[in-house]
Structure 1
Amino acid sequence: MPEPVRKKNKDGTIKSEIYWLRKKVPERFRAVVGRREVWRSLETDHFKTAQVRCNKLSLDLDKEWQDRLLASRSAAKKAAPTARSMTDFELSGLQRVVHEQGRDRIRNPPPGAKWGQGTHVRDEEENDEQREFDEQALDDFLSRTGYVLAEADRRRFLPMFVEAQRQVSVDLARAAMRQDYSESKAFDNNAPSLSARIDLHEAFEFYCDKAGIKGGANGPTAKRWRPKIAAFCVFVGHSDLCRMTRDDAYRWVDHLTEEGVAKKSIREVWIASLRAVTGFQIERLKFTGENPFARIRVRGVKGTNTSNKKGFTDVQATKILTATCAAFSHLTAPETRAARRWIPWICAYND
């Protein structure tokens, strides 16, 4: 249990007679609490009373944080992915994914598989049973790959999905009967495969969840950055990080400047959010290209001046270094004595 403490001034003197609870937030609760430690006034200057209140308040905080964590997890489970409209370009790339996954069965066939037997090309007029089978197969594919289609896009994609499945059967039959494993030409004119696609919205939420951003997905930084990420996706017309370029980043800077956004804000918020999310994707080996938002220069903003860093005066430095030669208390550990003696000298030498 934490002990009641009194707040102190910088010089070590007592700031107030009132006791406080100073409690470290456990790692598992930091995302929902939004900080590493909390202070709570115990509203008394009597130590015994403060001790009782401190213990009770500490237990109450543990319970509150646990409840908030459970509520957060429950809400995350209930939150269904949001369907969004997909362009013809994206649906064409998704059709290629269907074919690619089918082709993987050629490279890694299940034991005893005999491809090519009973290959069937469906007629245009499908009966209800066939259509129900196709729709179930489409649902399985979408669930497996994590895509959520709006109903209109789902109806548009269903015949594309059926055609891709049919072409997979043709390829499997060709591989089985003629040992021909060459790539099919059926989808040469399709858009690039979405299997290499990284959704920037999803990448941002992944960054909030895994990168230790202050306050987590519901903290002030995430709330400030999330609309900036969404606005950039609207500006470029898509949310595929793999298709975003350095030119997009500079067009974005020019657009924001014309809109009257402060240049410092452009650099430290609008571009910084994109750079951080993409950098984390590179760190986790999910994005293999160069970060298109790195080293983007916003002209007219002064850089950080490192030439005028505050340092110690000669008198202060002399006093600190002289103190390292003083005798230490016999209660001081050898390691601590060594650190106090040599670290200031090492810093002074490196400086």
Structure 2
Amino acid sequence: MKKVTVLVALAMSMIDTAIVNAQSKQKSQNQYSLVYDGAINENKAGQVNIHPVSYELNANTISANVYTPANYDASKSYPAIVVAHPNGGVKEQTAGLYAQQLAEAGYITLVADASYQGASGGLPRHTDNPAFRTEDIRGMADFISTYKGFDKNRMGVLGICGGGGYTLKAAQSDKRLKAVATLSMFNSGEVRRNGFQNSQLNTIQERLQQASDARKEEVENGNILFSGVASVTDEEIAQTTTDLYREGLVYYYRTHKHPNSTFLYTTSSLLDLMTWDAAANMDLINQPLLMIAGSRADTKYMTDEAFPKAVNAKSKELFLVDGATHIETYWKPEYVSQIVDKLISFYQTNL
């Protein structure tokens, strides 16, 4: 895997080239640029429909998709689910897949690109700030609460990967979220601080210094530094030892590539990420809680750490998808069907 910290001009040049190439291909495949199997390509009467929307949140324009159930009637009353996408992901990938399938079960669903990411506004691009990501979920709740046909007392939330960690945080304070579910939860703060599987405990102070230096560079010289992965070769993918990152590189850069999706994040984001933890204050969650993880996922330890701390949840369940890795829960049909069935049962019981 190629680890990079680059100046904005170089990073943007590489990204722009990839975007131009990928956009041409995407437009020929799906008019909504959806990249998951079974995606809607046109709205048809009597079926689940997709509605691209935008709204303002803290001076940023948020790009989102609303999915409405088959035979949707705005004069009727429907429960709604807001879906938070993974780190590096966008609304057209796995978050859209789950939003569409939940809409097929009768829910109005909303999935939005995070502020500073995807097709949403905000500078500098690729900022990954936990407070912003948590506010994005509240912003989705704001938007869907005014959507015609939504029953204001029946809003649930689903967070996937990093979106799962931010969902836990949003649910601690926002009680409009009546039923809380996470899938393959990724605790972004813990991983950026300690390293994946606690592999960087000895370099915490060094990396905090790098983040501080990056902030200084932004202020003094106007240069935005990036961390993460800008591009990757097949050989580098094959040499990646962890399932999460190896399979994630395949998903995001090969099989489910989208021009707005990237593994880059601003290095200065680490100032906020490394001092944040998704599993802190879990006792504030008093809503029903469902946490889902693959039994073979090398990220499962994060769900295992957070779940017991939800001591005040109205009800809680840890559901393991037998045989699944983290990334396989994003797309593999036999796992997705199990997960969707579990989510539907959970939301039907609690909304």
Note whether the superposition's TM-score is higher than 0.5.
no
TM-score band, normalised by shorter chain: under 0.3
- Higher RCO (CA < 8 A, seq sep 6+): 2
More strand by percentage: 2
More helix by percentage: 1
Normalization by structure 1: what TM-score?
0.20
